[in-house]
Amino acid sequence: MTKTILFISPTGTMDNGAEISIFNLMKFLVSKGFRVLNVFPDYRVPVQKNYLEQMKKAGIQAIGIPAVKWWWEEAPGGLPGTYYQRVKSYEDNIKRIREILNQNKVDLVISNTANVFQGALAAAEENIRHFWLIHEFPEGEFGYYKEKLEFIEYYSDQIFAVSGSLQKELSQLLTDKNILSFIPYSEISGTNLKTSNSHRIIQIGRITENKNQLELIKAYHNLNISNIPLIFIGAEDEEYAKRCKDYVKNNGIQNVHFIGFLDKPWEFLTDKDICVFTSKIETFGMVYIEALINNIPTIVSNNKGYRSVKDLFIQGEMYCLGDIPDLSRHILNLLTNFSMKKNEMVQNKEKITAIYNLENAYKCILKHVNEDVEINVKEKDKFLNIKGVKSSKIDVFKNFLKNYLY
């Protein structure tokens, strides 16, 4: 009998790694014969038209639900609407998900980020298995969810975290649960890079404080190599982009280019380019993997997510985040030894693609999706009693919202 799986997606757009990764997981499960539904927050924005088209083409039934706020109250995104509008929206969202579970005889619910909780509660109320896939480190803008970990652990039949540092960290924080892993997957076949006779330094990614482009600009300035272009590809956060451009202008730095967002950025690159990624925080680093698969010599900061990629694939140079002289040395070394490093990349491409494929990336999730497990009825008032609420018959949703969420 075909199993039906319902995903709870974080944004309903394809502009973030969690959505791209899970879209590929959903397509993979459809190819394995599962019926896949996907619930997402419907904000009535134009970009969601493309999202819906991709879902339909992949054989995934996408269901948009209007929401005032879709993520936890403390999560990024501010506090739209009033307190009461958000409470009512959360209640309505959980109720609607429960209706979808019943109407479609769903066998498993999967929440695709630490930031959403509605699917976990709906699954518990309907006595359906629930998996949590976590892409975010509990720090920085997502540090708030450390306080939610007890809830996440209790309301999960299984938790999966991005392979590497995140899995290890959550395993230490959640000692009562065996934290399994997955590799975020994006379809990357490699690009036929244009031929060139000269080097360029490229960074792909939104111009933001976290992506830390100013660190690369300072390292480039130290090297005094203005004959080699420094190019940033990506949309811009206006305030941070201004800081970067002001630094370039005020220091008279030549040959630095901000070319904005490109739909297919790898088609812009050549066989003589190097990539440098300076992020302060990453969970895994999809753009790093894309550079490796495209055989582009790459330098990355030593944040935990990039370290996870390097541990898995070996390739790429790593500098100490915040150490501008160290980054300058790595850039100069890579440019000096470019041919040798390029040959290493080409020779190791098969090893990378042997690891980075759908079957391997999601094998642990697929194994547990296929399990037939009897679900124990959950003590729905557990977390409410932690908050001092004592009642043998509790409306789990209203009391949860009043006593745990806020």
Q: What is the pLDDT of residues 274-333, one digit of tens each?
A: 999 999 988 888 889 889 989 999 999 999 889 888 988 888 999 999 999 999 999 999
pLDDT above 90 (res 232): yes
Looking at domain 4-185+360-405, which CATH architecture does it have? Answer: 3-Layer(aba) Sandwich (3.40)
How far, in Å, CA of 105 to CA of 127, rounded? 12
| Pairing verdict, β 298-301 and 273-277 | parallel
The pTM for the full model equals 0.81
Confidence of residue 249 (pLDDT cuts 50, 70, 90): very high
How far, in Å, CA of 7 to CA of 263, rounded? 27
The answer to whether the 4-185+360-405 and 200-356 domains have the same CATH topology is: yes
pLDDT above 60 (res 379): no
pLDDT above 80 (res 218): yes
Share of the chain above pLDDT 70, in %: 91
Query: Rounded to the nearest 10 degrees, what angle do helices 304-313 and 286-293 cross at?
Result: 30
Residue pair 218/243 in contact by the 8 Å Cβ criterion: no
Domain edges within the chain: 4-185+360-405, 200-356
Residue pair 282/303 in contact by the 8 Å Cβ criterion: yes
Determine the topology of domain 200-356 in CATH.
Answer: Rossmann fold (3.40.50)
How far, in Å, CA of 74 to CA of 5, rounded? 28
Would you state the pLDDT for residue 256? 97
Across the range 201-223, mean pLDDT stands at: 95
pLDDT above 90 (res 191): no
Across the range 101-122, mean pLDDT stands at: 96
Across the range 139-165, mean pLDDT stands at: 92
Helix, strand, or coil (residue 110): strand
How far, in Å, CA of 404 to CA of 70, rounded? 16
pLDDT above 50 (res 357): yes
Would you state the pLDDT for residue 391? 32
Both tokens of 223, joined, read 């090297």
